[in-house]
Amino acid sequence: DSGVTQTPKHLITATGQRVTLRCSPRSGDLSVYWYQQSLDQGLQFLIQYYNGEERAKGNILERFSAQQFPDLHSELNLSSLELGDSALYFCASSPRQSSYEQYFGPGTRLTVT
Amino acid sequence: GENVEQHPSTLSVQEGDSAVIKCTYSDSASNYFPWYKQELGKRPQLIIDIRSNVGEKKDQRIAVTLNKTAKHFSLHITETQPEDSAVYFCAATTRNSGNTPLVFGKGTRLSVIA
């Protein structure tokens, strides 16, 4: 157990809908990263937050957005869902700006039908 | 930006043999290279990492080597066991004033045959 939690574990929804994925970082970790893993694909970086502020952006679609709250948990919002958005969504956390290690949560499996 | 290539995409070895997975990176400024193991349906788990100021690091049956000049790094697993079967990802990143995201290779599916 990495100490990073994600909810829900599984999510099944229809095209066009909107969902929110939640991540709680390890206690004391300030950075949260979101990654998307499609079937048989590697991990694609979406977005990073550090202490409530957006720090870096990857290949995140305009239909997707995220935020990090004062208690440091983060939410990833996916809207106007398409079949191709079906994937595992992981968040990871790391302690400080200068820390290298990232610890991954268990992921949320999103299925869009 | 950084680009990480990983080879092979699949690897089958007999139990007890060694396995080697290789990655190359493009950004000479990258200075942190972790390896993650991901079992089916599970989260990626950090198994070993290396920083650019060392050339080799070992942890029991796992070792990682780094060649900064050639911009490649490798994962070596000795005396493989069935429980080593998983997908392994290499990654690279650059330490700046803030954390930078990891850029992952596409993964190697390792099968250890008993």
Q: Which pLDDT tens digit goes with each residue over A22-70? A: 999 999 899 999 999 987 678 999 999 999 999 889 889 999 999 999 9
- Considering CB atoms only, which of A42, A104, A107 is closest to B107? A42
Q: Is the pLDDT of residue A88 over 60?
A: yes
Give the angle subtended at the CA of A8 by the CAs of A2 and A11, to the nearest 5°: 130
Q: Which residues of A touch B89 (CB under 8 A)?
A: 42-43
pLDDT in tens, B54-80: 899 999 999 999 999 999 999 999 999
Q: What is the DSSP string of chain B?
A: ---EEEE-SEEEEETTS-EEEEEEES-TT--EEEEEEE-TTS--EEEEEEETT-SEEEETTEEEEEETTTTEEEEEE-S--GGG-EEEEEEEB---SS----EE---EEEEEE-
Nearest-Cα distance to chain B for A39, in Å, is 11
Compute the distance between CA of residue B88 and CA of residue B6 in angstroms, rounded to an integer.
10
> What residues in A contact B106, CB-CB < 8 Å?
41-42
Q: In this complex, is the C-beta atom of A73 within 8 Å of any C-beta atom belonging to chain B?
A: no
pLDDT of residue A77: 98
Q: Which chain B residues have a beta carbon less than 8 Å from that of A43?
A: 44, 89, 102, 104
